[in-house]
Amino acid sequence: MKTYKGYLIDLDGTMYKGSEEIAEATRFVSRLREKQMDYLFVTNNSTKRPEEVAAKLQSFGVPAEAKHVITTSMATAHFIKERDKGRSVYFIGQEGLKVALEKEGLSYEETHPDYVVVGLDQEVTYEKLAKACLAVRNGATFISTNSDRALVTERGFLPGNGAITSVVEISTGQAPIFIGKPEAIIVEQAMERLGLPKEDVVMVGDNYDTDILAGIRAGIDTLLVHTGVTKKEHLLNVQQAPTWVVDTLDEVPV
């Protein structure tokens, strides 16, 4: 198996399972650290700040700091700033999105925003969605942090951000720009941060439909690990196989 200089790594199902450590993943990142390889954790979780994401990884012994994390909220805020077509945003979302937008110098505006951003918000209400619909119909560019259909919780599968986003999409007839995996946007931003050529970077994840597709769309190699969502039999029907497939990250040379 080829070794790389930069590793983009998914979180849930790859680095841990909910609140459980995946020991092979902790060892894998520790080995990357020893060899001074670059790595970034790339997550569709829009609700957490990068410090919180890093703290959870640290609790499992993974060498991770905030600078190793890119969330869909950060990617969304960066996307808006780079686009340079207005800086006012009406958003539905939690702390992670609020902080990310502020860090990029974007301002909050309810009635005539340049952008409407929908991120996961477990306090979402009809009124919040109504404001989003009005602003999109009023010409705001419609962005969604990610299209995940379900949120895995101890209670079961709750509505994911893709499901919440659909309210605005169905009501206005406007499709959003999605930023998170399986879109290439978040991966391209992660690559920009690493500053490495495409052939030196690999996307590592457990979910073919998000992690691996995002890597494929961004034109980089991909590594699927069978510690999470995608089972071996799912790979029989995919259009393009991952570059590499392993049972655990212990099998991956660095």
Does 134 engage in binding with a copy of itself (CB under 8 A)? yes
For the question of residue 10 being annotated catalytic, the response is yes
Nearer to a copy of itself, 58 or 111 (CB): 111
For the question of residue 250 being annotated catalytic, the response is no
H or E segment to which residue 177 belongs: strand 177-178
Residues whose CB falls within 8 Å of the CB of residue 127, separated by 6 or more in sequence, listed in order: none
Does the annotation place 181 within a ligand binding site?
yes
Nearer to a copy of itself, 63 or 160 (CB): 160
Which entry of 10, 114, 148, 211 is annotated as an active-site residue? 10
Edge to edge, what strands does the sheet with 6-9 contain? 69-71, 38-43, 6-9, 201-205, 221-225, 244-246
Does 140 engage in binding with a copy of itself (CB under 8 A)? no
Decide if 216 contacts 183 (C-beta within 8 A). Answer: no
| Nearest alpha-carbon partner for 73 in 144, 169, 163, 164 | 144
Q: Write the DSSP symbol of residue 84.
A: T
Residues whose CB falls within 8 Å of the CB of residue 186, separated by 6 or more in sequence, listed in order: 42, 44, 70, 72, 75, 179, 180, 214
Q: Which of 20, 123, 154, 233 binds a copy of itself (CB under 8 A)?
A: 123
Query: Which span sits near a copy of itself by CB under 8 A: 83-91, 152-160, 186-194, 214-222?
Result: 152-160
Query: Which span sits near a copy of itself by CB under 8 A: 61-69, 97-105, 162-170, 222-230?
Result: 162-170
Smallest distance, Å, CB 211 to a copy of itself?
20
Does 207 engage in binding with a copy of itself (CB under 8 A)? no
Does the annotation place 10 within a ligand binding site?
yes
Q: Which of 108, 157, 232, 250 binds a copy of itself (CB under 8 A)?
A: 157
Q: Which of 130, 197, 198, 240 binds a copy of itself (CB under 8 A)?
A: 130
**Which burial class, exposed, middle or buried, applies to 223 when counting CB atoms under 10 A from its CB (0-12, 13-18, 19+)?**
buried
Q: Which of 10, 121, 183, 200 binds a copy of itself (CB under 8 A)?
A: 121
Does 168 engage in binding with a copy of itself (CB under 8 A)? yes
H or E segment to which residue 115 belongs: strand 115-118
H or E segment to which residue 142 belongs: strand 141-144
Decide if 178 contacts 118 (C-beta within 8 A). Answer: no
Does 122 engage in binding with a copy of itself (CB under 8 A)? yes
- Residue 156 Rama label (left phi>0; alpha psi -120 to 50; beta): left
Q: Write the DSSP symbol of residue 240.
A: S
Q: Which of 152, 160, 241, 251 binds a copy of itself (CB under 8 A)?
A: 160
Binding site for a copy of itself (CB under 8 A): 121-127, 129-130, 133-134, 137-138, 149-150, 155-160, 162-164, 166-173
Residue ranges for the binding site for Mg(2+)? Answer: 10, 12, 206
Binding residues: 10, 12, 181, 206
